[in-house]
Structure 1
């Protein structure tokens, strides 16, 4: 397991991650999202919608990992999209990808 997934696990324990499409959109719209992570195998519709809202609300997003691997490190089955609300964790992930 690489550093990024470990950091996501730590962020979840610290309550700095919102998992799922709806929770992520709420964070984007309320400007709480420092970084949005999209699974590379998320559906095209999901990617397009999330990218649209990120562009509209000036939120950063990156495509990283696969749904099952993201889910595994966050204690879920699959995770297609998530939002990181902590500035330090977000910059760590950006700098280490």
Structure 2
């Protein structure tokens, strides 16, 4: 069963281009970790007025996907992205999970 997930994050206004550049050059090991965690149809959108990011992805199993946070690839990616955005003490991005209220199939 596919689970749709959505989150809000925030990138600093002077880092929009760098944030996009880094995602366009995603580390191969991070890409592989996402695939192994069952992530697909992953998109991130930027509101240039506010710096707010909207992330949408689909996963096969939420618990399996959440294990990605323990992988060396993910920790490396978080450290790389930390200067560009709001982060937690472990360098993970500050995220707000969104609750789906409507879906048209």
Q: TM-score range by the shorter chain?
A: under 0.3
In terms of fraction of residues, the more strand-rich structure is 2
**TM-score relative to the length of structure 1:** 0.28
In terms of fraction of residues, the more helix-rich structure is 1
Q: Which protein is bigger by CA-based radius of gyration?
A: 2
**TM-score relative to the length of structure 2:** 0.26
